[in-house]
Amino acid sequence: MILNPYYKDKLANKTVTILDDYVTNGISFEAARNLLEAENVKQINFVAIGRFRSRMSNGLGIYQKESYSLAKDLFSANTSAQLTKRDKDFGMNGKYDESAHADLADLAKLF
């Protein structure tokens, strides 16, 4: 995953909101979060639409928070990443919220 070159030098000190489908364990958001943090984004809001379940954890969601040190050009395939921290217990107590279906319907009206 790379950042769109259009945003080069436009992200620092900005607030960014990401809308994502949440199907597995947060890997796409973690990739985006690491890239945005490397570009000094002030605040990242994450809105996840989807399920938050895991067969491995009795139906409870497991979000895998992973931090990376990124090097080289974040706007091309020349980026390299080194895992610096993995929060193994982060998200272990997530719960599936059936009432979120109503929130999703309201959100769909915006689009």
pLDDT digits (tens, 9 = 90+) for 8-20: 889 999 999 888 7
Q: How far apart are CA 29 and CA 51, in angstroms?
A: 14
- pLDDT value, residue 53: 56
Q: Which residues pair with 86 in a beta bridge?
A: 66
Per-residue DSSP letters for 30-98? HHHHHHHHHTT-SEEEEEEEE----GGGTT-----EEEEEEES-TTSTT-EEEEEEEETTTTTT----T
- pLDDT value, residue 32: 87
pLDDT in tens, 1-10: 778 889 888 9
Q: How far apart are CA 63 and CA 44, in angstroms?
A: 16
- pLDDT value, residue 41: 94
- pLDDT value, residue 95: 54
pLDDT in tens, 50-96: 655 555 555 555 666 778 887 777 777 777 778 888 776 665 555 55
Q: How far apart are CA 111 and CA 45, in angstroms?
A: 18
Any idea where the domains of the chain sit in the sequence? Answer: 5-96
- pLDDT value, residue 18: 84
